[in-house]
Amino acid sequence: MIKSYTLSPNRKSESDASLVSIFAPVRSELQAVENQLLGWSKASSQSMIAMARQTISRPGKLIRPGLFLLITGHFGYQEKDRIETAATIEAIHVASLIHDDIIDGSALRRGKATAVKAFGPEFSLLFGDYLFIKSIARALDFKNKKIARILAEASGQMIEGEIEELSQSYNLKISENTYFKIIRKKTASLFQAIGELAAELAGVPPDLSQELKAYGFNLGLVYQIVDDLLDLQGDSDETGKARFSDWQEGRITLPVIRALKTWPEKQKKAAASWLKKEKKEQKLPADSFNNFLSELEKSGAISSSFRTADKLADKAKNYLAKLETSPYRESLVKLVDFVLKRKN
Region 276-295: mean pLDDT is 78
Report the domain count for the chain.
1
Q: Residue 59 sits in which domain range?
A: 9-341
The reply to whether 319 falls in a domain is yes
Residue 2 inside a domain? The answer is no
User: What are 255-270's pLDDT values in tens digits?
Assistant: 999 999 999 999 999 8
Residue 4 resides in a domain: no
Q: Which of 269, 246, 265, 256 is nearest to 296 (CA)?
A: 256
- Does residue 213 sit within a domain? yes
The reply to whether 77 falls in a domain is yes
| pTM, entire model | 0.91
By DSSP bridging, strand 112-113 and strand 108-109 are antiparallel
What's the CATH code of the domain at 76?
1.10.600.10
Q: What is the pLDDT of residue 60?
A: 81
Please check whether residue 280 lies inside any domain of the structure: yes
**What sign does the dihedral 92-240-236-247 (CA atoms) show?**
negative
- Greater model confidence, 113 or 150: 150
In a domain, 67, yes or no: yes
**Residue 286: what pLDDT?**
63
Indicate whether 3 belongs to any domain.
no
* pLDDT number for residue 2: 39
Chain segment 12-58, per-residue pLDDT in tens: 434 334 899 999 999 999 999 998 988 877 766 788 888 888 887 77
Average pLDDT over residues 213-225: 99
